[in-house]
Amino acid sequence: MKAILSVIGKDKLGIIASVSKELSDLKINIEDISQTIMQDYFTMIMLVDTGKCTLPFDDVSKRLSELGKKSNLDIRLRHEDIFNAMHKL
């Protein structure tokens, strides 16, 4: 299943590395990525494939959110279906 991962927070060293490592540990593949710095804020959006991950989606979402809290980042994982449904209205 595809999902959208967003990461927002004050820019600092190692954000991409820590998020990528967590995704790798969860067996989640990054299919596309866009990141930029807006003034002092780091913003990143990833399209990921969770098909090989063995944890339930809600558990993965909580785990990534916890990583964000530890790093002072807002990390959110959402089903791709949510975005597709928004564009069909």
Residue type, 50: T
pLDDT, tens digit, for every residue of 7-60? 999 999 999 999 999 999 999 999 999 999 999 999 999 999 999 999 999 999
- Those residues whose C-beta lies under 8 Å from the C-beta of residue 52, and which sit 6 or more positions away, are 27, 28, 29
In 4-75, alpha helices (H): 15-25, 57-70
Count Cβ atoms within 10 A of the Cβ of residue 23 and give its class: 0-12 exposed, 13-18 middle, 19 or more buried: buried
Instruction: Judge whether residue 88 has pLDDT over 70.
Output: no
pTM of model > 0.85: yes
Distance CA 22, CA 69 (A): 14
Domain range 2-86, CATH architecture: 2-Layer Sandwich (3.30)
